[in-house]
Amino acid sequence: MDFDLNTEQEMIRKEVRKFAEKEVAPVAMALDEQEAFSPELTKKMGDIGLFGMFVPEEYGGQELDYISYIIAVEEIARVDGSQAATIAAGNSLGIGPINYFGTKRQKEKYLPTLCTGKGLWGFGLTEPTAGSDAGASKTAAIQDGKEWVLNGSKIFITNAACELSMGVTVQAITGHKENGRPEYTCFLVEQGTPGYKALPMHGKMMWRASNTAELYFDDVRIPEENVLGKPGEGFHQMLSTLDGGRLSIAAMGLGGAQGAYEAALKYAKERVQFGKPISRFQAIAFKLADAATELECARNLLYKACWLRSKKRPFQKEAAMAKVYCSELMGRIADNAVQIHGGYGLMKEYNVERFFRDQKLLDIGEGTSEIQRLVISRYIGC
Amino acid sequence: MEILVCVKRVPDTSENEIEVNSDGTDIERDDLVYSVNEWDNYAVEEAIQIKDKVGGSVTVVTVGDEESEEVLRREMAMGADNGILLEDDAFEGSDGKGIAAILKAAVEKGNYDLILTGAQADDGAAQVGGMLAAMLDLPYASLVNFIDVSDDKKLKVGREIEGGNQEMNEIELPCVLSIQTGINEPRYVGIRGIRKVASVEIPTHGASDLGLGADAVGAGAAKVKRLDYFVPELGEGAEMLEGSTEEKVAKLIELLKAKGGIK
Ligand SMILES: Cc1cc2nc3c(=O)[nH]c(=O)nc-3n(C[C@H](O)[C@H](O)[C@H](O)COP(=O)(O)OP(=O)(O)OC[C@H]3O[C@@H](n4cnc5c(N)ncnc54)[C@H](O)[C@@H]3O)c2cc1C
C-alpha cells in the first residue's frame, strides 16, 4: 500500500492552493453577495489549467490522472464553493461527456476552447418533473431527415447561461425499446441555435457565484453530427457521467470541510473567553478533533474511489459512498465551524457563514443523499 | 542571455505560524510548509521575462538538501529551463559567506551573463548577493526593481533608495543583481508546467564536483554563528490592539489622534 501522492499531485495541490488563496479568496465574499458569476475569474482558472484536466493533450487538455483533478477541485472548494462548482461542473459534466463519448470531430470542435476556460458547456438532465427520477423526463427529439427536432425544457443546469456558455449536452427521449421503455439520446446544442433559450436562475441560497440556468427547447433543429456518440446511447452516457460527477461533488465536500475546519481551528486558537483560548475548552477541542478524524476518513475514501476508477475497476459503490460521506461531513463541520465562531459565525464577514450555506447543495445535486444511499443499498444487496 | 537565478527554500510565512522552539536554538520545524523565498520568485519571473524578450536560458540553483529540490522543480514549472541542486553534507552549517562560496563555484562551472538573487530571504540576512558578486569580482546592484536590456553588453537597472526614491544605473554584463519584490507580477504555476517538470532529473553537485575544500564551507568555516532565537519582550509603551479589524482601526485612529499623530 502506498499513501504518498506523487510529485505531480503534490505540486498541483500546492500551486492550486496558492492560486485559490491569492485569486479566489479575496473576491469570493463579494461575488457571493452580488450573486455574480465572474467570467474573468473563470478565465484565470482556465489559464492555470483547471479545465480539461483529464482530457488528452491533442484536444488541448492536461492529460492528468483523476486524482490530480480531484485534488484541484478540493483545493478550490477549500476556499470557495461557487468557483469549485464552475470547475467541477465544467470538467465532469461539461467536458466529460464530449471527451468520453464524442466523435473525433466533436472533440476537435469543442474541447480545445472548453479546455482553456474561455468557454463553458452545460449538462442538461434534470427537468421540472424529473429530478431524482431521471426516467420521468419529457424532453424528446424526433428525427426529420438529417436533423433532429428537439422539444422540452431543463432546469438547474450549471454553466449554461453565462457570458462564457457555448452550449449544452441535452438528454432527450428519441424512441422506445421493445419492452416499452424510453430510449435516450444526448445532443450537443450550441448557444444561439434557433428555438433554444437559456435563462439564468437567480435567488439561490448557495453557489451564488456559480451560473445556474433554465433551458427551453422549442422546435430546435439539431444536425445529425451533433448527436453525442450514437443515437440510443444517452442513458448509459448519463449514468457514467454521473458516476464521475459524484467524485467531483465529493471533492467539493472534502475541500469545503477542510476549509471550514481550518477556519474554525484558527478562530478557536485566537478567541479568548474566560481567560483562555476557546480551543482549550474540551467541548470545542473535541469538535475539532472529530473534524480532523473524519477529514482523514473522507480523504481516504474519496482517493480510494478515484484510485479504483483509474485502475479501471468498478468504483460506483465507492463513488456513491464518497459523495454522501464527504457532502454530509462538510455539513457537520461547517455547522460546528459556525458554532465555534459564535455570533460572528452568523455574519457574512466571516467565511464560515458562506460555507454553511454552500454546503447544502452537496446533499442535493448530482443525486441527493437519499439517492446515494439507495445506490449503495442496491450494491450491498438490500 | 544565459541567466542564473539563486533561490532558497524557506518556511512559508503565509502558511505557517512561526514559533521559536523550546530551547531557543531554532524555530519549530515540525509540520512547517515550505516555499520558494518570495524575493527569489520575483527574480525568476524577471529572468523568464528577459529570456522571452531576448532569448537564452534560465537556470535556477539552490544550496540545500534533497527536499530543496521541490523549489527548483517549482521554478522550472514556472518557466526556468534548468535546475541545479548543490547538496553535500559538507555544506551543512555554512554561514552567508560559505553559501556565497558554494554559489560562486557553481557560477564558474557555467557560462552566465547575468546572475540574479533575491534581495533577501525570509529567514536570511540579505548578504549572499553582495558577497557572491565580490567573490566573482563582478559588478553588483542591490534592491533592483527595474531591468531593461540595452544590448548584449549592458543593462539599465533601477534601484529603490531610501524614502521611496528611484535611481537608474547602467551596469556592464556579466553582473550580479539582487532583486526587490514588486519588480514584476510573478505568474502562477500552471498545471501544464507542472506536468512538464514533474519527473525530470535535476542534477546534483557536491563539494568535490565544485572543487570546494571542506575548509571553505560548512560549519567548520563559518565565522558567523547564531547564538539565540527569541521573541523580544513587549517594551514599555507597546500596546497590542485587540478586536475585529474594524475595531482595531477605530482604536488606532483614536490613539493617533490622542497623541497628535494625525489632526
Ligand atoms: C445549483 C444546482 C445546480 C445543478 N446543476 C445541475 C446540472 O448541471 N445538470 C443537471 O442535470 N441537474 C443539475 N441540478 C439538478 C439536481 O441534480 C437535482 O436538483 C437533483 O437531482 C434532485 O432533483 P429534484 O431537485 O427534482 O428533487 P426531487 O427528486 O424532487 O427530490 C425531492 C426529495 O425527495 C427525495 N426522493 C426522491 N426520490 C426518492 C426515493 N426514491 N427515495 C427516497 N427519497 C427520494 C430526494 O432525496 C429529495 O429529498 C442542479 C441543482 C442545483 C440546485
CA distance A86 to A83: 5
Mark whether A314 and A201 lie in a shared domain.
Answer: no
Mutate which of A125, A165, A202, A368 to test ligand 1's pocket (most atoms within 8 Å of Cβ)? Answer: A368
Radius of gyration of the CA atoms of chain B, in A: 21
Distance from the Cα of B174 to chain A's closest Cα (Å) equals 33
ipTM of this complex prediction, to 2 decimal places: 0.88
pLDDT of residue B75: 98
**Collapsing DSSP states into helix, strand and coil, what is residue B48?**
helix
Q: Give the CA distances from residue A336 to residues A105, A333, B119, in Å, rounded to whole numbers and listed in that order.
A: 50, 5, 44
Q: Which residue out of A132, A139, A360 has the highest number of ligand 1 atoms within 8 Å of its CB and is therefore the one to mutate?
A: A132
- Tell me the per-residue pLDDT of B95-135, one tens digit each, with 9 for 90 and over: 999 999 999 999 999 999 999 999 999 888 899 999 999 99
At residue B176, the 3 state secondary structure works out as: strand
How deeply is A25 buried, as exposed, middle or buried, from its count of CB atoms within 10 A (0-12, 13-18, 19+)?
middle
- Write the residue with the smallest CA distance to atom 38 of ligand 1: A132
CATH of the domain at A135: 2.40.110.10
Residues of B in contact with A22 (CB under 8 A): 188
Provide the domain count of chain B: 2
Nearest CB partner across the interface for A62, out of B70, B73, B195: B195
Query: Which candidate in A4, A5, A6, A8 is best for mutational testing of the B interface (most B CBs within 10 A)?
Result: A8
Element (H, E) at B171: strand B165-172
List the residue whose alpha carbon is closest to atom 30 of ligand 1: A131
CB spacing of A72 vs B77 below 8 angstroms: no
Distance from CA of A50 to the nearest CA of B (A): 7
Q: How far is A59 from chain B (nearest CA, A)?
A: 13
Q: Residue A349 belongs to a domain with what CATH number?
A: 1.20.140.10
- Would the CB atoms of A21 and B188 count as touching at under 8 Å? no
Check B195 against A64: CB less than 8 A apart: yes
> Does a structural domain hold residue B69?
yes
Amino acid type, A344: Y
CATH code for position A73: 1.10.540.10
Nearest residue to A366 (alpha-carbon basis) of A132, A130, A31: A132
Q: Which residue of B has its CA nearest to A51?
A: B191
Strand partners, B35: B10
**Is residue B263 domain-shared with residue B162, that is, in the same domain?**
no
Mutate to test the pocket of ligand 1, among A364, A375, A382 (most ligand atoms within 8 A of CB): A364
Give the end of a domain, one of A234, A250, A284: A234
The per-residue pLDDT string of chain A (382 residues; one tens digit each, 9 = 90 and over) reads: 889 999 999 999 999 999 999 999 999 999 999 999 999 999 999 999 999 999 999 999 999 999 999 999 999 999 999 999 999 999 999 999 999 999 999 999 999 999 999 999 999 999 999 999 988 999 999 999 999 999 999 999 999 999 999 999 999 999 999 998 999 999 999 999 999 999 999 999 999 999 999 999 999 999 999 999 999 999 999 999 998 899 999 999 999 999 999 999 999 999 999 999 999 999 999 999 999 999 999 999 999 999 999 999 999 999 999 999 999 999 999 999 999 999 999 999 999 999 999 999 999 999 999 999 999 999 999 9
Residue A178 Cα distances to A181, A182, A183, angstroms: 7, 9, 10
Whole domain around residue A277: which residue ranges?
236-379
Put simply, the answer to whether A11 touches B194 (Cβ < 8 Å) is yes
Task: Clarify whether residues B260 and B183 are in a common domain.
Answer: no
Query: Residue A367 Cα, ligand 1 centroid: separation in angstroms?
Result: 6
Residue A2 lies in a domain: no
Domain check: are A94 and A210 in the same one? no
Domain assignment of residue B234, yes or no: no
In this structure, are A241 and A206 located in the same domain?
no
Q: How far is the CA of A239 from the centre of ligand 1 (A)?
A: 15
| Same domain assignment for residues B20 and B129 | yes
What are residue A200's DSSP bridge partners? A213
| Å between A164 CA and nearest CA of chain B | 21
In a domain, B89, yes or no: yes
Domain co-membership, A153 together with A266: no
Spell out which residues of chain A touch residue B77, defining contact as CB-CB under 8 Å: 11, 15
Q: How many residue pairs bridge chain A and chain B with CB atoms within 8 Å of each other?
A: 54
Mean pLDDT of chain B: 92
- One domain, residues B140 and B244: no
Q: Kindly state whether residue B232 falls inside one of the protein's structural domains.
A: no
CB A356 within 8 A of CB A341: no
Pocket of ligand 1 (CB under 6 A): A 89, 93, 122-126, 131-132, 156-158, 207, 212, 361, 364-368, 370-371, 374
Percentage, residues of chain B above pLDDT 90: 69
Domains contained in chain A, number: 3
Residue at which a domain ends, from A208, A234, A260: A234
Which of residues A61, A90, A120 is at a domain's end? A120
Residues of chain B found within 8 Å of residue A7, distances taken between Cβ atoms: 73, 198-199
Q: Is residue B227 part of a domain?
A: no
Domain coverage including residue B13: 2-221
Residue B27 maps to a domain: yes
Chain B residue at shortest CA distance from A68: B191
Pair A228, A278 in one domain: no
One domain for residues B137 and B247: no
Beta bridge partners of A33: none
HSE of A16 in the Cβ direction (CA atoms, 13 Å)?
32
User: How far apart are the CA of B134 and the centre of ligand 1, in A?
Assistant: 69
pLDDT in tens, A65-84: 999 999 999 999 999 999 99
Within this chain, do residues A316 and A190 fall inside the same structural domain, yes or no? Answer: no
Asked whether residue B62 falls in the same domain as residue B178, the answer is: yes
Asked if residue A359 belongs to a domain, the reply is yes
Tell me: do B160 and B253 sit in the same domain: no
Residue A1 maps to a domain: no
Residues 6+ apart with CB under 8 A from B212: B90, B101, B102, B105
- Residue A180 Rama label (left phi>0; alpha psi -120 to 50; beta): left
Same domain, A85 and A147: no
Whether residues B248 and B137 fall in one domain: no
B161 or B48, greater pLDDT: B48
Q: Could you tell me the pLDDT band of residue B24, with boundaries at 50, 70 and 90? A: confident
Q: Are residues A265 and A363 in the same domain?
A: yes
Looking at the structure, do residues A29 and A153 belong to the same domain, yes or no? no
Tell me the pLDDT tens digit for each residue of B179-235.
999 999 999 999 999 999 999 999 999 999 999 987 889 988 899 888 888 888 877
- Answer whether residue A326 is part of any domain: yes
One of A23, A74, A294, A366 is an active-site residue; which one? A366
Domain membership flag for residue B228: no
Contact residues on chain B for A23, CB-CB shorter than 8 A: 188
Closest-CA distance of chain A to residue B172, Å? 36
Same domain, residue pair A71 and A127:
no
Could you tell me which of B187, B164, B168 has the C-alpha nearest to residue B47? B187
Same domain flag for A99 and A191: no
Return the ligand 1 atom nearest residue A134 CA: 21
B47 with B148, same domain? yes
B179 shares its domain with B205:
yes
What is the per-residue pLDDT for A27? Answer: 98
CA of A184 to the centre of ligand 1 (A): 19
**Same-domain status, A183 and A267:** no
Q: Is A33 a catalytic residue?
A: no
Question: Which of chain A's residues have a Cβ under 8 Å away from the Cβ of B32?
Answer: none
Q: Is there a domain that residue A308 lies in?
A: yes
> What is the pLDDT, as a whole number, of residue A354?
98
Cell (9 digits) for A364: 442535493
pLDDT value at residue A76: 98
Q: How do residues A200-215 score in pLDDT, each as one tens digit? A: 999 999 999 999 999 9
Is residue A351 assigned to a domain?
Answer: yes
CATH code (residue B126):
3.40.50.620
- Pick from B31, B73, B191, B248 the residue to mutate for testing the A interface (most A CBs within 10 Å): B191
